[in-house]
Amino acid sequence: MEATILIVDENVEMSAIISAKLRSSNYLCDSCPSIFEARSRLEIFKYNIVLVSVELNDGSAIEFMNTVISNYPKTAIMLSANKENITKAAAAIDLGAQDYVLKPYSFTDVIRKIESTLIRVRAQEEDFITCKTQYGDLVIDPRGRQVRLAGKDMKCTLIEFQLLKELVLNKNKVLEYDDLIIKVWGETYLGERSYLHNYINRLRKLLYHRELIVTVPKVGYRLLKSP
């Protein structure tokens, strides 16, 4: 799967190793040790993914992430962190990060999450229907990636949006666990049902705990037939 990736990590040796392995897997990969240099590169080159460390010394990775999301909406952000900072990286998913990886880097883990992110982002760009979809007072605008509930904007991450979109587009069906995982995260996440269950719980909270999402035990999820 072709893609351009920028790794932002002050550990130059670690970045060089993972960059070389990514290139050997046919990815175009650059690396730099600071947010300052990353900003300069983003002004010149287009990247599909920026993998940025939360341990950088020249600025906040979260603020940098917000800048990238605002100025380069087609560039996906992933975060990396050492074990002691992994909760900070995980929390950034709520703010717009696509995923996170633990350092020291495991090449298998990095590749798996990069591929899943690319599938998810490209599906969003290519498969969106052009019309709004409504389910009761819940309105989804796939092209604008907007959700409105009872006339008010509902803020959600890309994964939450993709998951809700699949449920609404298939509102008359029971979506099996693995089918949802493949559609939202990709085949590399098959078996990771805890991801799905956690995000369903987050969606339920965003929906103010309305009983719209029904669990079909040992099978999957569906929406109420009548909202």
3-state SS, residue 76: strand
Residues of the chain with CATH 3.40.50.2300: 4-126
Q: What is the pLDDT of residues 156-206, one digit of tens each?
A: 877 888 888 888 888 878 999 998 888 888 777 888 888 899 899 988 888
* pLDDT of residue 220 exceeding 90: yes
* Architecture of the domain defined by 128-223: Orthogonal Bundle (1.10)
Radius of gyration of the chain from Cα atoms?
18
Nearest to 190 by CA among 119, 103, 91, 95: 119
CATH superfamily of 4-126: Response regulator (3.40.50.2300)
Residues of the chain with CATH 1.10.10.10: 128-223
Distance, CA of 117 to CA of 105 (rounded, Å): 17
Q: Which residues pair with 197 in a beta bridge?
A: none
* pLDDT of residue 112 exceeding 60: yes
Which pLDDT belongs to residue 128?
Answer: 47
Q: What is the pLDDT of residues 35-88, one digit of tens each?
A: 999 999 998 888 999 999 999 989 899 999 989 988 887 899 999 999 998 888
Residue 213, judged by CB atoms within 10 A of its CB (0-12, 13-18, 19+), counts as middle
Q: What is the pLDDT of residues 136-145, one digit of tens each?
A: 888 887 666 7
